[in-house]
Structure 1
Amino acid sequence: MQVILLERVENLGQMGDVVTVRPGYARNFLLPRQKALRATKDNISYFDGKKKELEAQNLKRREEAEKVSVKMEGLKVSLIRQASEAGQLYGSVTARDIADAVTDKGFKIDREQVTMDRAYKLLGLYPVKVFLHPEVMVEVTINIARSAEEAKIQEERGEALIVKDDRTLRAEERAAEAAAALEAQAAAEAAKAAEGEKTEEAAA
């Protein structure tokens, strides 16, 4: 589907660009959030006639976002979650969780404004990008801990209390699975051997 952008959209284009996107992306995100219009002849003419007005509105929103970004600079948000002794969360922290936590701090945002490279599944400190406007981004530090006390210690140290990355945890999980498989195999072989002994005794 072709749409005309009403504002800058990350990895897509600038205001006024006509771009091709997936129909679902247009219907579920761009169109209902008034970030774009279907690129029909009438809509393109409408945009051309409203371009200066739209640019002025965009400039005003950007200036407002820049003021908010100054207030948000250096913002740190703690999220208290249950986790194992290895630091693995029972669940994960998502963009919605972060948006809710930032909103609780007095800065209303929604999950679409939060950019994450993945869902966080470990305790620790994570820098997260929040887009207050398509052209205004502020970095927020997310402090995921098991308690307020641990969150305070992590903030003071500048790192997780339990320093284990995903690769280490996956290696530990694989090792545990391999050990369990070996135990199961040994048990099966022992049971088979015992059954063989019973058969021999019965034959004798």
Structure 2
Amino acid sequence: MPSLRSLPEAKAKAGPGEKVKVILEKDVAGLGEEGTVVEVADGYARNYLLPKGVAHTATPGNIRKWEEMKKVAGRKNEKGKQKALKIAEKLKGVEIVMEREMGEEGKLFGAVTTQDIAEEIRRKFRQDIDHRKVELEEPIRVIGLRQVILKLHPQVKIPLKVEVKKK
């Protein structure tokens, strides 16, 4: 069985106490953030970073691949942000009215959930919004006006008024 040093990820000539350069795949406390090239002890790279998938050896080819992946991810993120801004513009200042049956004590039969709000947006405004993008601390169980946050993108959030009325 070949030793770890014969694997492509490990430097063939690095011995005990020598340093190798690695590209971090994830943030590592005390070492660096994702995507940075750092120099670490050979043993730390071989025994922890490489086997756990936290880093890859910083070969010229791996560095080029990593840079290309960052560019592609940046373009995707920008497209997603632009799409979110268009949706935010359409939904800016909108109030959603939800009608629900009520019991004798003034409580709703069922609650208004993020899924209900997303479905109402889909129905009224023809915007397909994932219910997980609606930030609601807990389902709405009483009539009245509430403000929720619609998180369309990490950098695009809009307030949305939701009014629950008696049917």
TM-score, normalized by length of structure 1?
0.49
Q: How has the CA–CA distance of structure 1 residues 146 and 111 changed in structure 2, closer, same or farther, with 3 Å as cutoff?
A: same
Aligned to 1:61: 80
Q: How has the CA–CA distance of structure 1 residues 17 and 126 changed in structure 2, closer, same or farther, with 3 Å as cutoff?
A: farther
The CA deviation at 1:84 is 2.8
Aligned to 1:123: 143
Which whole-Å CA distance do the structure 2 matches of 1:86 and 1:54 have between them? Answer: 52
Moved over 6 A (4+): none
Aligned-partner SS, 1:119: coil
The answer to whether 1:145 aligns with 2:165 is yes
Aligned to 2:131: 111
Q: How has the CA–CA distance of structure 1 residues 17 and 104 changed in structure 2, closer, same or farther, with 3 Å as cutoff?
A: farther
Q: How has the CA–CA distance of structure 1 residues 39 and 109 changed in structure 2, closer, same or farther, with 3 Å as cutoff?
A: farther
Equivalent residues, number: 115
Aligned to 1:94: 113
Which ranges in structure 1 are unaligned for 5 or more consecutive residues?
A: 6-15, 19-37, 148-204
Q: How has the CA–CA distance of structure 1 residues 122 and 47 changed in structure 2, closer, same or farther, with 3 Å as cutoff?
A: farther
Which whole-Å CA distance do the structure 1 matches of 2:108 and 2:130 have between them? Answer: 23
The answer to whether 1:71 aligns with 2:94 is no
Instruction: Specify the code of the residue in structure 2 equivalent to 1:138.
Output: I
Which whole-Å CA distance do the structure 1 matches of 2:34 and 2:164 have between them? Answer: 39
Q: How does 1:1-204 map to 2 (within 5 A)?
A: 40-41=54-55, 48-105=67-124, 106-147=126-167
Q: Percent identity?
A: 25
Which ranges in structure 2 are unaligned for 5 or more consecutive residues?
A: 1-24, 28-32, 36-51, 57-61
Instruction: Specify the code of the residue in structure 1 equivalent to 2:123.
Output: D
Which whole-Å CA distance do the structure 2 matches of 1:82 and 1:17 have between them? Answer: 51
Aligned-partner SS, 1:92: coil
